[in-house]
Amino acid sequence: MTENAHPILIGSDHAGYEMKEFIKQYLSQKNIPFEEAGTAQYDETDDYPLVAFKLAQKISSGEFQRGILLCGTGIGASIAANRVKGVRAALCSTPETARMSRLHNNSNVLVLGGRVTSREMVPQIINAWLEASFEGGRHQRRIEMLDSSGNIATH
């Protein structure tokens, strides 16, 4: 199965809920498979760390290869997701940063801000992210450093 044939896991808190629903429609139109990690209904008491950890753990375990995660700004969700080992969550606001997050960082979670990311740009950001592939090489060494906590000499 190619990378893009795997379902994308998508999740948000309440502040990302509307954009999450918009993205689900977009993915459906494009026949891009996805699964829902929540929140399934708008609920103002949602806490972004919970959905971020839930989604990130399913990426970390290998159950899903890629996720799209949202909160209001994308900041809290990315902070939370990046605490889970093996997760490289990239908060991207343009197609170019989304593309570079794949090429150089092998990002496995795309993070968007439901209240701040331009809705018009969201399809382009997602396309750029899905179409780009990790370049490996020197970037492989660097992403390995991310998971080797405490073992890297500082200059």
- Reported residue count of the chain is 155
Q: Per rule CB under 6 A, is residue 50 in the interface with ligand RB5?
A: no
CA distance 113 to 22: 13
User: Is the CB of residue 77 less than 8 Å from the CB of residue 70?
Assistant: yes
Q: Is 71 a catalytic residue?
A: yes
Nearer to ligand RB5, 67 or 72 (CB): 72
CB of 112 to ligand RB5, least distance (A): 11
From residue 59 to residue 88, the character string flagging contacts with ligand RB5 as x (rule: CB under 6 A) and all else as - is ------------xxx-xx------------
How would DSSP label each residue in 26-66? HHHHTT--EEEEE--S--TT--HHHHHHHHHHHHHTTS-SE
Catalytic residue among 14, 71, 92, 155: 71
Residue 132 CA to residue 130 CA, distance in Å, equals 6
Shortest distance (Å) from residue 39 CB to ligand RB5 = 11
Residues near ligand RB5 (CB under 6 A)? 13, 15, 48, 71-73, 75-76
Which residues form the catalytic set? 71, 104
